[in-house]
Amino acid sequence: MKKLLVLLTVLALFLVSCGGTETKPETTGAGQTTVADADIAKSIIGDWQAETLGVFLEQYGFTAPARLLLTEDGKYEWYFTLSGKYVGVKGTYKVTDTSAKPYKFDFMQTHVQGPDGAWVEKSRPAHGIFEVGADGKLVTAFLDAINYPRPDELNEAAQVYTKK
């Protein structure tokens, strides 16, 4: 009986020492702190103004001004100039993979805005990748998920946004 009591006490102390809600930053082999998934998702929340839409979108007539709004509740609005007309799309987004850079996110467009400003329901999936640089800029590439594979690198086709 004494052995059982000692064993239970040791087990309880072990569990208490392993528990708790405090999290310590993880470090890489180089001693750099890695960012938690929630912090990565929070880093993109905001109102972003496009510096460039990248060569891929530009070849299809997309130009600045453009704006990307990402909210904490997983909604987005993307406004852009297409063939000289300022229009938009909106829907939901979710950060899906933060295990390696560039990070991945998915979008589900629910509405399209025409040049007259009216919103029309139109569902369409998109997927993309992103990073927030040390300079605070959001660099991303996201494409229609029906017609294009998810981009795997951020290059001259990437969009670059600055937080407003």
* Predicted pLDDT at 32: 36
pLDDT digits (tens, 9 = 90+) for 76-90: 999 999 999 999 999
pLDDT digits (tens, 9 = 90+) for 3-60: 323 332 333 322 223 333 333 333 334 333 345 678 999 999 999 999 999 999 999 9
- The two tokens of residue 148 are 């294009």
Write down the domain spans for the chain: 46-163
3-class DSSP state for residue 121?
strand
Contact 43, 70 (CB under 8 A): no
Percent of the chain with pLDDT over 70: 78
Best CATH choice for the domain 46-163 from the list 2.40.128, 3.40.50, 3.30.470, 1.10.1060 = 2.40.128
The predicted model scores a pTM of 0.76
Give the pairing type, strands 103-113 and 85-97: antiparallel
Mean pLDDT of the chain: 82
